Amino acid sequence: MKPKIGVLARPMISESGRKIYGTYQEIHEMIIKFGGIPVQLFPPNLDSYHSVKYENINELSADEKDILHQMVDECDGILLQGGMEFYPYDVEVARYTHEKNIPTLGICLGMQTMGVAMGGILGHVENKERHQNHQPYSHDIFVDKRSQLFHLLKNEKIHVNSRHQDCLIQTDLMVSALSDDGIIEAIEDKNKDFYIGVQWHPESMLSYDDSMNSLFLKFMEWVVKRYEKQEK
């Protein structure tokens, strides 16, 4: 048996116009590459609410929360993938994994979700040429030496890709990295085993960047520890 990584599915529209839920291929492949089993988690009753506005992030019913909690409890780790918009169920999962100390990695929108779940506010990216491109490396980021992220990357300055239109401008979590133009690039809670969000897309960098492999390896280490503990 292998540990299960839950990936919260994103709402998408098929070519025929039908509503579907999806997981990005690179996310799926990354989990398998590092020895995990990707498990797609389906949000309950999406049609009953819309993308998150600050006044409705708590609009899930008790039954909807219970469904989400049961799905998350079946997993050994959670990956919050990127996308265009997040919903109340995303925020609830980010809060729940934090509360239960379940290893959690947030990517791009996933990081923003974690930040909002922990008292955060979003803004819009102004320098679009710098932060909304598909280059292998878009800009540098600077990692706080006091952070868990620094201890696993072993580097204060790293190069990252970038393709996001929004950015986190406030959160109660520790800001563990900033871009060279001041955008929050990573957040974490050092009091948890692994609760880290990154603004870039490490899943797209695995073939050419050792640091991104190190990031996911450390996430998997904590996932495996939880899995082994659950098996005993």
- pLDDT tens digit string along 86-131? 888 999 999 999 999 999 999 999 999 999 999 999 988 876 666 6
The H or E element spanning position 7 is strand 4-8
The 10s digit of each residue's pLDDT in 186-221 is: 999 999 999 999 999 999 999 999 999 999 999 999
The 10s digit of each residue's pLDDT in 219-230 is: 999 999 999 998
In this prediction the pTM is 0.94
* Cα gap 80→93, rounded to integer Å: 9
Contact 6, 43 (CB under 8 A): no
Contact 201, 215 (CB under 8 A): no
Q: What is the model's pLDDT at position 6? A: 98
* DSSP-derived secondary structure letter, 169: E
pLDDT exceeds 90 at position 146: yes
Hunting for tokens 């102004």 — which residue is that?
126
The 10s digit of each residue's pLDDT in 9-63 is: 988 888 998 988 899 999 999 999 999 999 999 888 766 555 555 555 667 889 9
Q: What is the model's pLDDT at position 124? A: 85
- The domains located in the chain, with CATH, are 4-231 (3.40.50.880)
- Please classify residue 14 by burial: count the beta carbons closer than 10 Å to its beta carbon, then call 0-12 exposed, 13-18 middle and 19+ buried: exposed
